[in-house]
Amino acid sequence: MLEANERGIPIGTAPVEGTDLDFRVTRVIGATKLDQAFTDLERGSDGRATVELRAADSETVLWVDEAYLYLMVFTGDTLPDGGRRSVAVEPMTCAPNAFRSGDGLIRLEPEQTHTGTWGITPVAGPL
């Protein structure tokens, strides 16, 4: 994961192992407050990293290809109203503050292109 200062600017990396931010094994988010960028994503044999969000009666899977090196996950607890109504997961090709740090920043020369693919798969019905 990326460690951040009080302004949310990344200042380094740290492992998630042994922290309340380790979601590599399915578990309840519960009261964990998330405003966190994750990197070094675990990927399947197809090169995709996935995030599975489950509720009592549904599941949503977000997947990203190798172009996306970071995922930003936000629960909204730090918003002025303090109300958590959902979880946001944002695929990112570069780290927060990349225009300044250069971390993951992709620079394209004229006529160059860059392609990344991501998707969301809703799963309906009882789980």
Contact 61, 34 (CB under 8 A): no
From 77, 71, 61, select the one nearest 36 (Cα to Cα): 71
Q: What is the pLDDT of residues 23-55, one digit of tens each?
A: 998 888 988 989 999 999 999 999 999 999 988
Q: What is the CA radius of gyration of the chain?
A: 16
Q: 91: closest CA among 111, 124, 120?
A: 120
Give the pair of three-digit tokens for residue 52. 């599975």
User: In angstroms, rounded to a whole number, what is the distance separating the alpha carbons of residues 49 and 2?
Assistant: 17
pTM (2 d.p.):
0.86
The predicted-structure confidence for 110-126, as pLDDT tens digits, reads as follows 999 999 999 998 876 65
